[in-house]
Amino acid sequence: MTRPASPAGGEGASRPFATAMLLAAGIGRRMRPLTETRPKPLVEVGGKALLDHVLDRLPPAGVETAVVNVHHFAGQMEAHLAARRTPRILISDERDGLLDSGGGVRRALPMLGREPFIVCNCDSFWIEGPRSNLAAMTANWDPARMDILMLLAATATSVGFEGAGDYHLDPGGRLRRRREGEVVPFAYAGVLLIKPDLFDDMPAVFSLNRLFDAAEAAGRLFGRRLDGVWLHVGTPQAVQEAERRIALSSIQ
């Protein structure tokens, strides 16, 4: 694990998607009591920390470096990450205060580099289909049309997600956010590809939703359907549901 003192941490990111940002600094209030003694990304599902489920998906997609932001039980996070060998880990320290999802990425930009990169939530993972979903996303990235490409999960087959969905996906892959009172078939699965220049001139603290809405308005927000089963782990009950689904998949 590397904890850089200067922006040089991202100097090796010379191609798109060689780096990824893991949003891991949240307090995890909905996951209590499990998060009273540990950070949410270190809650275990299927015998492995949520954080490791996400990190293990990155190298097969060509990711060499992962930047992980830390805040809640930051020392535990750093100790856990120190044991990993791949991908290379850089720490973005938010002990001085949470910056929301967009602000967390913005602070880490010097480590992420100036090529498009991957952003992942640490409470979402999936049972993979026949091909790496991340590899499929990077292969389908089209910078001429896209500013953001999201991984989408079908709400009807997802585990741990309750709600009316997040986005409508048109036949060309463009996304439209769900309107008031509407039910849509897809949820944002917590993974996206994004251009770094979208963060230029943004404030220190802001939500990624601002960039999603701007890209949608410009017709440059796209989605790709997840091949597999999405496991959204946001509560202790959802941990149990995910455990059952993982156990079922192992005997199918």
| Mean pLDDT of the 155-159 span | 85
* Whole-number pLDDT of residue 12: 45
Residues 61-65, mean pLDDT to the nearest whole number: 95
Instruction: For the chain, give the percent of residues with pLDDT over 70.
Output: 93
Please check the confidence at residue 11 and state whether its pLDDT lies above 80.
no
CB-based burial label for 136 (10 Å; 0-12, 13-18, 19+): middle
Check: pTM over 0.75? Answer yes or no. Answer: yes
Least confident range from 29-43, 48-62, 184-198: namely 29-43
The residue among 36 and 179 whose pLDDT is bigger is: 179
Q: How many angstroms separate the CA atoms of 160 and 232, rounded? A: 5
Closest by CA to 191, choosing from 29, 54, 70, 83, is 54
Task: Give the residue among 210, 197, 208 at the shortest CA–CA distance from 101.
Answer: 208
Torsional sign, CA 165, 229, 37, 204: negative
User: Over the stretch 66-115, which tens digit does the pLDDT of each residue have?
Assistant: 999 999 889 999 999 999 989 999 999 999 999 999 999 999 999 999 99
pLDDT tens per residue, range 201-234: 999 999 999 999 999 999 999 999 999 988 878 7
| pLDDT tens by residue, 72-86 | 889 999 999 999 989
Q: What pLDDT was estimated at residue 13?
A: 52
Average pLDDT, the chain: 89
Which residue ranges form the domains of the chain, and what is each CATH number? 14-251 (3.90.550.10)
Confidence (pLDDT) at 105: 98
Q: What is the pLDDT, as a whole number, of residue 4?
A: 42
